[in-house]
Amino acid sequence: MNRKKTIYLAGPLFSHAELEYNCKLKDLLLKKGFSVFLPQEDAEDTIDEREKLNQECIFNKCVEGLDGSDIVVAVLDGVDVDSGTAWEIGYAYAKEKPVIGVRTDFRSLSDGIVNLMIEMAIVALAKDEDELLKMIEKFR
């Protein structure tokens, strides 16, 4: 029997909208049969934990989550990619883990859809959740 593949879900987690969107994506990926590491839950990356100065613990849990993942799905919305998400993409790339970006934001840079370094580090870029779910099937 094949084990479930684990997805590390990278993305900004600083507003209610971002937190809710991350949970929505997690639920969609779980329904597709994947395990999902979501930093805001699994690394307890919350305002309360940051106020307790648990940054090192949060960081270590995120690195462990990345190391234990098979695939990274990265939310790339915004004027520029969230800096933590960019770091997670670079780390995954260095570890030779496939990264699929999802960008629902219709804004684009003058020279591309996302930053060149991000664009070259991902294996695919979905424009919405439906496209992401189709792409992720290739990695089952």
CA distances from 134 to 11, 20, 47, 71, 97 (A): 20, 22, 34, 15, 19
Give the 3-state secondary structure of residue 6: strand
Q: Which domains does the chain have, with CATH numbers?
A: 6-139 (3.40.50.450)
Summarised one tens digit per residue, pLDDT across range 10-28 is 999 989 999 999 999 999 9
Nearest to 79 by CA among 113, 111, 102: 113
Residue 110 has pLDDT above 60, yes or no: no
CA torsion through residues 32, 33, 35, 40, sign: positive
Summarised one tens digit per residue, pLDDT across range 14-72 is 899 999 999 999 999 999 999 999 999 998 876 777 677 678 888 999 999 999 999 99
Residue 1 has pLDDT above 70, yes or no: no
CA distances from 119 to 48, 59, 71, 81, 116 (A): 33, 24, 16, 11, 5
C-beta neighbour count of 84 within 10 angstroms: 17
Provide the pLDDT for residue 79.
85
Provide the pLDDT for residue 118.
94
CB 44 within 8 A of CB 60: no
Provide the pLDDT for residue 111.
64
Q: Which residues pair with 122 in a beta bridge?
A: none
